[in-house]
Structure 1
Amino acid sequence: MYAAGMLRWMFTAALVLGAGAQAAGCGGTEGMPDWARAGTFRGSLGTLPVALSLDPKGESRYFYEGRSLDLFLEVRRSGNALVLEESVRRELGGEPVVTGCFSLMPAPGGLKGTWQAPGASAPLEVTLTPLDAARLPLRLPLSPGLSTLRREDPLAFLKLNRAWVTLPGGRAVREPLSGVTYPRVPGASGALNAALQDRQLRHAADALDCRARLPEPAQKDPENGYTLSAGLTLSNARLLSLREDVNYYCGGAHPDNWTEGVILDRATGRSVPLTTLFPKLSAARQKALYLSGVKTKVNAECLDVLRENADDFTAHLSATGVNLTPSGLPHVVAACAETVTLPYATLRGDANLGSPLVKTLYPK
């Protein structure tokens, strides 16, 4: 994949790592050597299996396959060597500390070089070969989201492409690394199961990424990280709806949360926009109906906030109606985002009553 330069890497790596062991970092200058290209690699660091993503225009990172949390890398060059500086935060709010220095050169079939921790007496050998994730066997049922993950984020695919745990009764599945659990519908179509898997896949990848961005001591605190609560709110002959609530803290200024409503066609697994079911339920009408319904649920201060800021809503369906929750409120007023149920009877004039999907909401 890369041009030859096999005999130079050992000498250059030793020079770079000699500088990298110092507290100032791994040395080198900004940018990649001419021979280097973005890509995903798999191999070993010492005796441990690792996978590494090199992305000079984005975020470079790697992980130990036995641990499955990313370590983030700054890309540099020193002479003809590729230098990757690994750093972590030791505590919340602290500055990143350099914890390792890669120095890599092209070798037959991939990359070869060393990794050394600051102050360590000797470097560890690193051998990496390009990873073609498309050739990896699937451990999960094929789905659009899994195919996209394999193509666009092979490192996340490596972590999540493994057997998941079906909970007793078959009504939920747990992804083992992130702990993210998501509902399932026994007897559902393959397309619907694929859609549910893909939503869980996205949350699991986000949960692992969130945990990786925390300092190591904070990663073990259950109050930190990414927590999903997802539940079915409607299941009829043609429609399935869920509500997802996420609370997360990934090391930023403060914890945060969000809610997302999901409406799916049971036959195809495709997302159903609210306006497909209720074409006259425009953004302006949603807000008017929401404000009318929320008056008795919030105090005057929150009502003023919602009048000013609640312009976008996420929706999920239940047996009694369409449930609207404000989305995108500023963090300082997010607690005002109460959910309001708009009864189906109220929305009959807004509904596409000729739709087979809508008919399941208005039984005769």
Structure 2
Amino acid sequence: MEGFARITLLAALTFSPTASAGTVYEGTLGKSAIVAELDASADGLEGRYFYRRHRLDIPLEAQPAADGAQVLGERADWRTEEAERPHWELRRASDGGYAGQWRDAKGKSLPIALKPVAAARLPVEADPALEALRKGETYDYLRLSGLKLVDDGSEQRGAYRLQWRREPNSGIRLFEVVDGYPADTRDRVNRVLHARLWSEVQAYYECLSGGGEGEYDQTVTVHRLDPKILSASVFTSYYCGGAHPDFGDSPINLDPRTGRALRLEDVISTGKPAPSDEHDSAWLDYRSQVWAPWLVAQFERLYPEQMKTSGGEDECDYADEQIWSFPSWHATDKGLYLGASFYRAARACDDPDWSVLPWSVVRQHHGAVDIAP
């Protein structure tokens, strides 16, 4: 299940803005502009905030009230002792916001002034991806608002011309298709790609907000462009403040005909019904009990030498069904690539270069969506 857990974390980072649990405020801490999200819990007031110039979250933990003030402790770095961390003392203001003081362990004090953000009064965004955030995730929208995308080179891939776009602060980049598809198809595909670019920028800031020495490095590789599929790897090496750094691929696999993201079950069939809900235990059972054994049987037939193992301690055991339960996948000129996912100590065995189901096999076992050339 480690591969599934890693894929789930990547998906959470790259596809889902952090759910807003509280009320969003904007204002100042000292002379610095900040945005805060505060929520009343059983323990008191808690939440998070960021300085507009940095855009990185600093968590706020509820602490015992003092003299009628709500007290919140900053937790920017888990390695810092609680007594050494700054804290906030807030009281309700007449405008529905908060006023108070920021104090550090050395006795320094700065004024805090916050007022609630009226999301409906924020200017409408011309960018559809940012407009969706403005309507639904005000805190995340205010983090990204003001950032601009710049052109970052173009390239020709067969009949398709790509324009790369980059967000300079994070360095996150992704492409758009500017020629090769009909206009309606191009618009449909680019809406998805543009939204994905902004979600990756958001993931960058979410990750680096983990406290301490966060890292988030990403490489995008285009694998296949044709009328049936747009397929690219989005490989990320990241450390978000947890126990260990990690890496993984969260690929883009789009059906240009619909603009819909493709699931593995859409394009390949084992001959047995696959549950559609990826949050259901039945789907997890299908992947481990039906899909993985089926794929291992295919690879043992196609790549008998690579699938052999002598049982050595440092050997990559590609016959282990568990490593194929939740593969990353993308389309290539040769067929459907599927990447193995090993436990942490054997991560060097991940994603072998040979694990491709040829198009001839995909045609024999295609799913409801035909992507074979």
TM-score of the pair, normalised by structure 2 = 0.73
Residue 336 (str. 1) matches residue 321 (str. 2): no
What is the aligned partner in structure 2 of residue 163 from structure 1? 148
Q: Which amino acid aligns with 1:182?
A: L
Counterpart check, 1:345 vs 2:329: no
> Which one of the candidate residues 99, 111, 114 is aligned to 2:101?
114
Unpaired runs of 5+ residues, structure 1, are: 1-36, 219-223
**1:266 maps to which residue?**
256
Q: Is the 8 A contact 2:306 2:318 kept in 1?
A: no
Alignment of 1:149-228 (within 5 A): 149-151=133-135, 153-161=137-145, 162-169=147-154, 171-187=163-179, 189-215=186-212, 218=213, 225-228=215-218
- Cα separation, partners in 2 of 1:306 and 1:149, compared to 1, 3 Å: farther
What is the percent sequence identity of the aligned residues? 25
TM-score, normalised on structure 1?
A: 0.75
Structure 2 residue aligned with 1:275? 265
Q: Which amino acid aligns with 2:294?
A: R
Deviates more, 1:58-67 or 1:102-111: 58-67
Question: Which AA in structure 1 matches 2:86?
Answer: G
- The letter for the 1-side match of 2:75 is S
1:154 offset after TM fit, Å?
Answer: 2.6
Q: Tell whether the 8 Å contact from 1:89 to 1:95 is kept in structure 2 after alignment.
A: no
Distance in 2, matches of 1:165 and 1:296, equals 47
Q: Is the 8 Å Cα contact of residues 291 and 306 (structure 1) preserved in structure 2?
A: no
Structure ID, larger Rg: 1
Instruction: Measure the CA separation in 2 of the matches of 1:96 and 1:48.
Output: 24
Alpha-carbon distance change, 134 to 119 in structure 1, aligned in 2, over 3 angstroms:
same
Give aligned pairs, total: 309
Q: RMSD of the TM alignment (CA)?
A: 2.9
> Match of 2:350, as an amino acid?
A
Q: Which has the higher contact order (CA 8 A, sep 6+)?
A: 2
- Match of residue 288 from structure 2: none
Match of 2:286 in 1: none
Q: How does 1:84-123 map to 2 (within 5 A)?
A: 84-89=72-77, 95=81, 98-109=84-95, 110-121=97-108, 123=109
Give me the whole-angstrom Cα distance separating, in 2, the residues matched to 1:164 and 1:344. Answer: 37
> In 2 relative to 1, CA 191–251 (structure 1 residues): closer, same or farther, beyond 3 Å?
same
**Which residue matches 1:44?**
28
**1:6-45 mapped onto 2 (5 Å cutoff):** 38-45=22-29
Q: Residues 97 and 281 from structure 1, CA distance in 2 versus in 1: closer, same or farther, beyond 3 angstroms?
A: farther
Task: Measure, in 1, the Cα distance between the counterparts of 2:197 and 2:72.
Answer: 32
Q: Residues of 2 paired with 1:291 and 1:95: CA distance? A: 54
- Structure 2's unaligned 5+ residue stretches are 1-20, 155-161, 180-184, 273-290, 310-314
